[in-house]
Amino acid sequence: MPAKPKVEDEYSRLYKMIVTGKIMPNERIVEMDYAQMFNCNRANIRRALARLEQDGLVVIEPFKGARVRLVTPEEAVETYEVRGALETLLVSQAAKLATEADKAILREILNKLYEARDNGDPMRVGTIGRQIREELWRISSHKTALKFLTQINSQLIRSSYRSVMMPGRADAIAQQLTEVVDHVSDGDAEKASEAMRQYHASAREALVAALQVKDYVF
């Protein structure tokens, strides 16, 4: 009765299990086990794994199977850098395209961000900060950059959790994102992207610092 290919299902289910840490890094993914768990065929798991491999979430070795890929700290930093470059591009588009309604939404989310900050809830600041950035993604309407950003984010969800917990990070996020939103509201693409560049520069610093706290395994 499957009107459309189920592979999408298995893919996203596995995807979620990996990025949420349900399947730990370096853990093997035996095709048969997950086929039974998901109540589907091995071939579907197989295809899902192939896609996940291209996402950089798993590695597949011939005749040895798939396992969750271990992301090295250096790689995480590099990924942050790429994300920064893309979002900088994207914000300049957003500044040119933002409607009044868009600006209102951004303001609104920003207020929630302040609230979270004042409540001393860094985790929530991180979540809302991400929400703002995703809103900017939407506003920019840059499908291609969006595609890559989506792909990228999967790889650093876990790192992000750590860096947002660094002392002072929450304040910095609030301040810098405010600046970004301000410039976007003014329609100043140049300044907006410069502000975003700075946001990402300091996000990168925070990550590097977080990574040095101890040799954390991603």
Partner DNA sequence: TGTTGCTGGTTTGTTGACGATACTACCAAC
Partner DNA sequence: GTTGGTAGTATCGTCAACAAACCAGCAACA
| 32 binds, options DNA, its own copies, none, Cβ within 5 to 8 A by partner type | DNA
> Which of 18, 23, 84, 128 is in the footprint of its own copies by CB under 8 A?
84
| 84 binds, options its own copies, DNA, none, Cβ within 5 to 8 A by partner type | its own copies
Residue numbers 5-24 binding its own copies by CB under 8 A: 5, 7
Asked if 112 contacts 154 with a C-beta cutoff of 8 angstroms, the reply is no
Q: CB within 8 A of 162, min separation 6: which ones?
A: 207, 210, 211, 213, 216
Residue 71 DSSP code: P
204 touches its own copies (CB under 8 A): no
Residue 1 CB, nearest approach to DNA (Å): 6
| 148 binds, options its own copies, DNA, none, Cβ within 5 to 8 A by partner type | its own copies
Displacement of CA 108 from its chain's centroid (Å) = 22
Residue 36 CB, nearest approach to DNA (Å): 10
Residue 139: closest CA among 80, 84, 183, 85: 183
Residue 195 has a CB neighbour count (10 Å cut-off) of 23
4 touches its own copies (CB under 8 A): yes
Euclidean distance between CA atoms 10 and 76, whole angstroms: 26
166 touches its own copies (CB under 8 A): no
| 50 binds, options DNA, its own copies, none, Cβ within 5 to 8 A by partner type | its own copies
